[in-house]
Amino acid sequence: MPETLSSTSVGLVTPQVARFDTPLMLACGRELPAFELVYETYGTLNETASNAVLICHALSGHHHAAGYHHVDDRKPGWWDAHIGPGKSIDTRRFFVISVNNLGGCHGSTGPSSENPATGRIWGPDFPLMTVTDWVHSQAMLADRLGIQQFAAVVGGSLGGMQVLQWAMTLPERVANATVIAATPRLSAQNIAFNEVARQAIRSDPEFFDGWYSEHQTLPRQGLRLARMVGHITYLSEHSMGARFGRDLRTDSLNYGYDVEFEVESYLRYQGDTFSTRFDANTYLLMTKALDYFDPAGEHDDNLPQALSTASCRFLVVSFSTDWRFAPARSRELVDALLRAGKHVSYANIDSPHGHDAFLLPNERYEAVLGGFMTRIANDVERAAGDHA
Amino acid sequence: MPETLSSTSVGLVTPQVARFDTPLMLACGRELPAFELVYETYGTLNETASNAVLICHALSGHHHAAGYHHVDDRKPGWWDAHIGPGKSIDTRRFFVISVNNLGGCHGSTGPSSENPATGRIWGPDFPLMTVTDWVHSQAMLADRLGIQQFAAVVGGSLGGMQVLQWAMTLPERVANATVIAATPRLSAQNIAFNEVARQAIRSDPEFFDGWYSEHQTLPRQGLRLARMVGHITYLSEHSMGARFGRDLRTDSLNYGYDVEFEVESYLRYQGDTFSTRFDANTYLLMTKALDYFDPAGEHDDNLPQALSTASCRFLVVSFSTDWRFAPARSRELVDALLRAGKHVSYANIDSPHGHDAFLLPNERYEAVLGGFMTRIANDVERAAGDHA
């Protein structure tokens, strides 16, 4: 944490835990008997509970979206660029909730939690989650917090898919939906990259069919490779080129397999740090949730029909150099929303940063997201005023 | 081999071996004391030895470019679509030579060969090869065969880089150069994908620092992952989508990690077959040769200057959906060739097949390549007639 905190930071935050003893029926047909969700909130819920915004996280994300946990944290939450007093998602006006998804590895019930039926950790026995399961569990948290309808549900990448699912599954509980850098379904190439990541983890001899923690080990190499290949898809070819080019780490080529190019060093570092701080079973589960998401598939590939239940206003945002979920995938979604007669705004933001752009500051992105959220805050406050 | 051989097949072919006891000085500073090259030839060398065409292979290629080795071979050589009587590279007119590169695993001296200094196999001690080293070794084979100048040097991908290097390093020995689906240098993203492949192989516990064969094992999982990630980059997003889409192998999702999507099954199959038929040390070496190739880098990033020594005519071909070495990379090369005052033709071929398109039949590709080669054959035969 910086010595002098910016006035646009939410400052120090403390995660909270909500425990649910009501069973959750899952898409896979299994039931989660009880579970905990860890979450953070920023800002204050108004009297009518009409100013709540739900933040949905992506593959390797978690509940810590903004601010700092400790004064000695070097980095703030993953979406601190966009959440805070005066930021796009303005915590002076909104009550923001950010939750770690079920199956995660940051405090919510997941593969590393104890399976009450066995007394062992769940490990690979933890049921596979779908985006719909997450929506239902997040709705239980909203009930607990007394929130009937979210002013907005917001998310990027896999988070954007949760936003879409919220709008379709629980339309009466979503006033506005912001779908960023997402896609209505993964392409064969997207699935292929996920499958390489899964095979890297599952073929690591330290994986032990997912029981690595009972063997006091971790499938580090597998997770490291999965992250390396994932990371390439998060950056654009241009941003990798601009950042690393063909720059050497060494004075000259060493004609061997130690690090030579800067980009090799960067990838190895990304893989190494990730391999000890993220859970392999969670990574597997998250990639499957991505692969499975396909609302149109449940409606004879008719996306407008799948979206027909939604009643909220939509903002869809894509980034020009995102090749993981390219702008064309967002346009598919926008076209389907329009064909379904929905109210939708769309912006394709010029950015050199590929898929990762959704996490980064960007003037036009902030103008678009901030503008949409400001209109919502105005509506909320006007309605609250009428109500008062 | 089909029961009735097409009139456009070169038919049964037998690889030959050339042994060289002259030491080869390598770019890395080491010397290869003696070596063998395995190669195939198709067609007949004319009296003036002026109709020879050299085929350079790509990362996982070899000398077997056309025809069949045995009557029970199911598949012909890797470039059979383009080499044969009446094909783009017409063996009725050209004497075609296709050689397995040094460091390969199909018969030429490489990591699996015996190191004369130790009596053990070379393994990871085999020196790293560069594209320039290959050109010099191929030139020694040309000397052996009595070929002073090639009518054309032709290659795709890493093969195209060898073509470029031939034109720059030994300009008097190349009359025409055909550079297909290549790039004048790898991008940071290209290097990143290669690095993931290398890390997959090198982190496999069965790799044993490259001494796997002395441990009677193979780094199968690593090579399998390397091939899977490579394969994604060879296909276009569109061709993967058209071929596999989100089709399931199973009647329904199994909510587990067995194969569910067709594209998963395809990738696993590609990885599995490759992991037992290709040598891991060779794969590592080939990716390094790709990474190192950078003629402009030796001339203060001035590509036209690097190309200035060339005196041949160039044909450059790219494919519309190739994202490994995108059309823009070929246009960079074409621009540099034009700025260097060279004679160059360029075609960007519409194809849905990504980088792999260079291996496949395609009417317009055949017209462009065949047209260029026909002009060369006409020149060769006219000159031979004048000479007679």
pLDDT digits (tens, 9 = 90+) for A280-322: 999 999 999 999 999 999 999 999 999 999 999 999 999 999 9
Select from B363, B289, B311 the least CA-distant residue to B167: B311
Do residues B86 and B92 lie in contact, with contact meaning Cβ atoms separated by under 8 Å?
Answer: yes
Which residues lie closer than 8 Å to B165 by C-beta, 6 or more apart?
B131, B132, B134, B135, B293, B295
Active site residue A355: yes
What sign for the dihedral angle of Cα B9, B14, B15, B21?
Answer: negative
B185, B224, B229 member nearest A246 (Cβ):
B185
User: Scanning the structure block, which residue is given the tokens 């936003």?
Assistant: A163
Select from B230, B172, B178 the least CA-distant residue to B200: B230
Strands B152-156 and B176-180, by their bridges, are parallel
d(CA B31, CA A200): 37
Question: How many C-beta atoms lie closer than 10 Å to residue B360's C-beta?
Answer: 12
User: pLDDT for A173-205, tens place per residue?
Assistant: 999 999 999 999 999 999 999 999 999 999 999
SS3 A114: strand
Strands B35-42 and B95-99, by their bridges, are antiparallel
Do residues A18 and A99 lie in contact, with contact meaning Cβ atoms separated by under 8 Å?
Answer: no
- Listing DSSP states for B327-348 in one string gives HHHHHHHHHHHHHTT-EEEEEE
For chain A, positions 20-39, list CB contacts with chain B under 8 A.
27-29
ipTM of the complex: 0.95
Which residues lie closer than 8 Å to A220 by C-beta, 6 or more apart?
A204, A206, A275, A276
B188, B246, B271 member nearest A246 (Cβ):
B188
Would you say the pTM of this structure is higher than 0.90? yes
Helices B220-234 and B280-292 cross at an angle (nearest 10°) of 40
Exposure string over B83-110, b if 16+ CB within 10 A, otherwise e: bbbebbbbbebbbbbbbbbbbbbbbbbb
d(CA A256, CA B225): 21
d(CA B269, CA A241): 32
Mutate to test the interface with B, among A255, A268, A322 (most CBs of B within 10 A): A255
pLDDT value at residue A387 = 67
Q: How confident is the model at residue A386 (pLDDT cuts 50, 70, 90)?
A: confident
Query: Which residue type does A18 have?
Result: A
* Residue bearing the bigger pLDDT, B149 or A2: B149
Q: How far is the alpha carbon of B59 from chain A, nearest alpha carbon, in Å? A: 17
The catalytic residue positions of B are 157, 322, 355
- CB spacing of A195 vs B246 below 8 angstroms: no
d(CA B346, CA B334): 7
Over range A251-270, report the average pLDDT. 93
Tokens of B372: 């260029």
Walk across the sheet containing A343-349 and list its strands. Answer: A16-20, A35-42, A95-99, A52-56, A152-156, A176-180, A313-319, A343-349
Helices A188-202 and B220-234 cross at an angle (nearest 10°) of 170
A200 in B contact zone (CB under 8 Å): yes
Which domains, from first to last, does chain B contain? 16-185+294-386 (3.40.50.1820), 191-287 (1.10.1740.110)
Do residues A83 and A91 lie in contact, with contact meaning Cβ atoms separated by under 8 Å?
Answer: yes
Q: How far is the alpha carbon of A131 from chain B, nearest alpha carbon, in Å? A: 13
Q: Which H helix or E strand runs over B374?
A: helix B363-387
pLDDT value at residue B252 = 86
User: Which positions of chain B have pLDDT values less than 50?
Assistant: none
Do residues A226 and A208 lie in contact, with contact meaning Cβ atoms separated by under 8 Å?
Answer: no
Mutate to test the interface with B, among A125, A132, A194, A199 (most CBs of B within 10 A): A199
pLDDT value at residue B37 = 98
Q: What is the CA radius of gyration of chain A?
A: 21
Mutate to test the interface with A, among B130, B217, B246 (most CBs of A within 10 A): B246
pLDDT value at residue B251 = 84
- Widest pairwise Cα distance in chain B: 74
pLDDT value at residue B1 = 81
Q: Which H helix or E strand runs over A53?
A: strand A52-56
Residue A356 labeled ligand binder? yes
SS3 A122: coil
pLDDT value at residue A73 = 95
User: pLDDT for B249-287, tens place per residue?
Assistant: 888 898 999 999 999 999 999 999 999 999 999 999 999
Q: Mean pLDDT over all residues of chain A?
A: 96
Select from B68, B74, B78, B50 the least CA-distant residue to B10: B68
User: Scanning the structure block, which residue is given the tokens 């009446």?
Assistant: B86
Over range A95-100, report the average pLDDT. 98
pLDDT value at residue A1 = 81
Chain B residues whose CB is inside 8 A of the A103 CB are none
Query: Which residue type does A224 have?
Result: R
Active-site option among A57, A63, A353, A355: A355
Chain B residues whose CB is inside 8 A of the A284 CB are 257
Identify the burial level of A63 via C-beta atoms within 10 angstroms of its C-beta, where 0-12 means exposed, 13-18 middle and 19 or more buried.
Answer: buried
Chain B residues whose CB is inside 8 A of the A237 CB are 187-189
| Helix %, strand %, coil % of chain A (to 5) | 40, 15, 40
B365 in A contact zone (CB under 8 Å): no
- Which phi and psi (to 5°) does residue A306 adopt? -60, -35
pLDDT value at residue B385 = 84
For chain B, positions 136-175, list CB contacts with chain A under 8 A.
none
Select from A371, A335, A360 the least CA-distant residue to A81: A360
Q: How confident is the model at residue A388 (pLDDT cuts 50, 70, 90)?
A: low
Q: Which H helix or E strand runs over A156?
A: strand A152-156
Count, residues in chain A: 388
Helices A262-277 and A220-234 cross at an angle (nearest 10°) of 120
Active site residue A157: yes
SS3 B88: coil
pLDDT value at residue A55 = 98
Do residues A327 and A180 lie in contact, with contact meaning Cβ atoms separated by under 8 Å?
Answer: no
d(CA A276, CA A10): 28
